[in-house]
């Protein structure tokens, strides 16, 4: 693993130039060692507006390139990211606190490269409609009216992203946005923006024209808020918490922003009495400790049939014993730290509120005796639907368990949530699982499986968001429909 250059002069990328943060720098802290690992540039609101203006100026020429020309550059960007990823591991591991395995496989390289490779092949969603016989009338003579439905790029997209998978999340936004013909301004999460600035170096090396990808960063909300207000920005592609998403929707309404909102989750995992409990428990446990539970799609709300309830809890408890908490750079570690001290304290209060409300603490709940911001995998059983720990996301390694009697109650409990991002059904009877899935108010459902299909539409019902991306839906998300009508 390469070394971290703590003294590197990190700068913003605006209109193809690396510029100093107009408001100085702030410290980026490793959540494990609590050491400063870099000093991130702090943009001013004027620089956020400069970045939006640069993206606006670059839009016409980028849009006029053929899809093939744009895709060639997107493919080259994927190549540059792949080539550079090994050198990014140390920095991205340190700023995110992710375990080394998670960093190497999911934070840099693989998924980000895949996104650019996928959108390096043009996706044509334009279609012709069947002609309609049209009678003579006040607007013109009779004839056959034809129409073509074209996809036009939305324009300038501001990508405002969360801290958990910084590079991968940004790649999932800018790859389809660029393919659709949009130009972009990236506003990374304040906690770990360095990997995104490294991505900017790959953008430069790939030869994308100046202004097509800009990066502005800030420690507070001002830079993101300025992009939401900017009349140079047509669309906000946001991933983050539901309360901030709601604020952005309200503020973006003033300038009629197009919005893609990928927000919080409280994934239900229904485990039926005939389920393979080993598979169910292992699947749930895999995501329980993975990236210290800082995953929006995690099945954190287990809804277990009464006949297997005790056994499932016992099996999950056993799994927790194998989840080594500690130094994320040690390859035997499963659970690393959460992102900040503030977040660690918030998750601890969350667990305490569950116990106060009557949940039974099966394991975890205590603070590991380690430097850094660690939380032991925590299991709260005998939960009821009205508890705060059942209703809200922890964004930490905390699982709550509820008991059900029949499938109707399982569906009712699963849907009794403000969220609806990703839910799961574990059952030996796939017909039954499929039937249950169809009744869930959830954007995505996994049947006996945790891994998502990366080309399937992704997004949430209810407070989990608005809109979908991935696959061809990524192109849909970043384009406007235009109908061109003519008389044949
Ligand atoms: P957050 O909402 O605190 O911050 C997200 C981004 O919004 C950051 O870049 C932040 O600087 C910016 N921001 C804050 N206030 C703003 C404002 N007023 N205007 C514009 N931008 C503003 O989220 P987080 O703590 O970084 O991430 C965790 C959350 O993200 C969780 O709720 C998690 O479920 C969610 N998440 C969702 C998905 C998904 O795909 N649905 C994926 C990952 C994370």
- Provide the pLDDT for residue 423: 98
pLDDT surpasses 70 at 97: yes
> In ligand 1, which atom is closest to the CA atom of 459?
41
> 């809890």: which residue's tokens?
313
Three-state SS at 275 = coil
pLDDT bin (cut points 50, 70, 90) of residue 252 is very high
CA distance 81 to 112: 8
Q: List Cβ neighbours of 252 (8 Å cut-off, separation of 6 or more).
A: 228, 236, 259
- CATH code, residues 268-454: 3.40.309.10
Q: DSSP letter string over 95-147?
A: HH---HHHIIIIISSHHHHHHHHHTTS-----EEEEEEEE--BTTB--EEEEE
pLDDT tens digit sequence for 333-350: 999 999 999 999 999 999
> In ligand 1, which atom is closest to the CA atom of 245?
2
**Pairing of the two strands 479-487 and 143-153:** antiparallel
> Which strands sit side by side in the sheet containing 378-381, from one edge to the other?
360-363, 378-381, 398-404, 301-305, 268-271, 422-426, 444-447
The answer, yes or no, to whether any atom of ligand 1 lies below 6 A from the CB of 338, is no
The answer, yes or no, to whether any atom of ligand 1 lies below 6 A from the CB of 340, is no
**Pairing of the two strands 213-215 and 143-153:** unpaired
> In ligand 1, which atom is closest to the CA atom of 218?
11
pLDDT tens digit sequence for 196-231: 999 999 999 999 999 999 999 999 999 999 999 999
Three-state SS at 153 = strand
pLDDT tens digit sequence for 170-193: 999 999 999 999 999 999 999 999
Burial of 331 (0-12, 13-18, 19+ CB in 10 A): exposed
Residue closest by Cα to atom 8 of ligand 1: 189
The answer, yes or no, to whether any atom of ligand 1 lies below 6 A from the CB of 421, is yes
CB 85 within 8 A of CB 1: no
The answer, yes or no, to whether any atom of ligand 1 lies below 6 A from the CB of 176, is no
pLDDT bin (cut points 50, 70, 90) of residue 1 is low
> In ligand 1, which atom is closest to the CA atom of 460?
41
The answer to whether the 12-263+465-487 and 268-454 domains have the same CATH topology is no
CA distance 468 to 261: 8
| Distance (Å) from CA 22 to ligand 1 centroid | 24
pLDDT tens digit sequence for 383-396: 999 999 999 999 99
The answer, yes or no, to whether any atom of ligand 1 lies below 6 A from the CB of 162, is yes
Extract the runs of DSSP E, i.e. beta strands, from 163-267.
Answer: 183-187, 213-215, 235-239, 258-262
The answer, yes or no, to whether any atom of ligand 1 lies below 6 A from the CB of 395, is yes
Q: Could you confirm whether domain 12-263+465-487 is CATH 3.40.605.10?
A: yes
- Catalytic positions are 262, 296
The residue among 25, 31, 46, 41 whose CA lies nearest residue 197 is 41
Domain residue ranges of the chain, discontinuous segments joined by +: 12-263+465-487, 268-454
319-332 average pLDDT score: 97
Three-state SS at 304 = strand
| Distance (Å) from CA 486 to ligand 1 centroid | 45
| Distance (Å) from CA 404 to ligand 1 centroid | 33
The answer, yes or no, to whether any atom of ligand 1 lies below 6 A from the CB of 159, is no
pLDDT tens digit sequence for 103-113: 999 999 899 99
The answer, yes or no, to whether any atom of ligand 1 lies below 6 A from the CB of 211, is no
> In ligand 1, which atom is closest to the CA atom of 162?
26
| Distance (Å) from CA 246 to ligand 1 centroid | 11
Structure tokens belonging to residue 293: 């539970």
| Distance (Å) from CA 342 to ligand 1 centroid | 15
Mean pLDDT rounded to a whole number for the chain: 97
Mark 399-426 as b/e (b = at least 16 C-beta within 10 Å). Answer: bbbbbbeebeebbebbbbbebbbbbbbb
Mutate to test the pocket of ligand 1, among 162, 187, 215 (most ligand atoms within 8 A of CB): 162
Structure tokens belonging to residue 418: 């403000």
The residue among 433, 10, 358, 428 whose CA lies nearest residue 192 is 10
CB 159 within 8 A of CB 177: yes
CA distance 71 to 64: 13
The answer, yes or no, to whether any atom of ligand 1 lies below 6 A from the CB of 476, is no
CA distance 159 to 173: 7
CB atoms within 10 A of CB 371: 12
| Distance (Å) from CA 359 to ligand 1 centroid | 28
Q: The whole model's pTM is what?
A: 0.98
The answer, yes or no, to whether any atom of ligand 1 lies below 6 A from the CB of 221, is yes
| Distance (Å) from CA 381 to ligand 1 centroid | 29
pLDDT bin (cut points 50, 70, 90) of residue 2 is low
Please state, in angstroms and as integers, the Cα–Cα distance from residue 49 to each residue in 55, 68, 227, 358, following that order: 10, 30, 7, 50
Rg for the chain, CA atoms, rounded: 24
Structure tokens belonging to residue 294: 């800082």
Q: Quick one: which H or E segment has residue 283?
A: helix 277-289
| Distance (Å) from CA 241 to ligand 1 centroid | 4
CB 55 within 8 A of CB 254: no
The residue among 3, 176, 158, 160 whose CA lies nearest residue 78 is 176
pLDDT surpasses 80 at 282: yes
pLDDT bin (cut points 50, 70, 90) of residue 3 is confident
The answer, yes or no, to whether any atom of ligand 1 lies below 6 A from the CB of 178, is no
């Amino acid at each position: 693993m390469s070394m971290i250059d703590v003294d590197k002069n990190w700068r913003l990328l605006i209109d193809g130039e690396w510029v100093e943060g107009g408001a100085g720098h702030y410290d980026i802290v490793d959540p494990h060692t609590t050491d400063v690992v870099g000093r991130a540039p702090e943009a001013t609101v004027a620089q956020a507006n400069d970045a939006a203006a640069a993206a606006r100026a670059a839009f016409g020429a980028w849009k006029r390139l053929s899809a093939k020309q744009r895709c060639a550059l997107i493919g080259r960007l994927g190549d540059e990211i792949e080539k550079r990823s090994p050198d990014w591991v140390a920095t991205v591991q340190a700023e995110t606190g992710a375990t080394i395995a998670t960093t190497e496989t999911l934070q840099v390289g693989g998924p980000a490269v895949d996104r650019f490779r996928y959108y390096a092949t043009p996706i044509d969603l334009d279609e012709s409609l069947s002609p309609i016989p049209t009678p003579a009338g006040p607007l013109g003579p009779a004839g056959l009216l034809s129409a073509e439905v074209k996809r036009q790029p939305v324009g300038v997209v501001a990508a405002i992203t969360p801290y958990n998978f910084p590079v991968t999340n940004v790649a999932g936004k800018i790859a389809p946005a660029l393919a659709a013909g949009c130009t972009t301004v990236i506003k990374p999460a304040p906690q770990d923006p360095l990997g995104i600035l490294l991505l900017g170096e790959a953008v430069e090396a790939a030869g994308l024209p100046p202004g097509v990808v800009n990066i502005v960063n800030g420690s507070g909300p001002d830079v993101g808020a300025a992009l939401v207000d900017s009349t140079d920005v047509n669309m906000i592609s946001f991933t983050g918490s539901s309360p901030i998403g709601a604020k952005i929707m309200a503020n973006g309404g003033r300038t009629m922003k197009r919005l893609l909102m990928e927000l919080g989750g409280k994934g239900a995992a229904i485990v039926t009495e005939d389920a393979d409990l080993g598979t169910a428990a292992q699947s749930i446990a895999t995501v329980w400790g993975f990236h210290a539970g800082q995953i929006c799609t995690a099945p954190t709300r287990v809804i277990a049939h009464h006949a297997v309830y005790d056994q499932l809890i016992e099996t999950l408890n056993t799994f927790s014993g194998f989840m080594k908490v500690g130094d994320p750079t040690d390859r035997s570690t499963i659970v690393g730290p959460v992102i900040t001290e503030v977040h660690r304290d918030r998750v601890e209060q969350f667990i305490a509120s569950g116990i106060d409300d009557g949940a039974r603490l099966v394991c975890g709940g205590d603070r590991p005796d380690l430097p850094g911001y660690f939380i032991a995998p925590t299991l709260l059983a005998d939960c009821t639907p009205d508890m705060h720990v059942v209703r809200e996301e922890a964004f930490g390694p905390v699982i709550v368990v509820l008991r059900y009697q029949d499938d109707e109650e399982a569906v009712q409990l699963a849907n009794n949530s403000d969220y609806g991002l990703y839910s799961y059904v574990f059952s030996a009877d796939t017909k039954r699982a499929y039937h249950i899935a169809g009744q869930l108010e959830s954007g995505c459902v996994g049947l006996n499986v945790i891994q998502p299909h990366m080309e399937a539409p992704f997004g949430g019902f209810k407070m989990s968001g608005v809109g979908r991306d991935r696959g061809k839906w990524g192109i849909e998300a970043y384009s406007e429909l235009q109908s061109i009508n003519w008389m044949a």
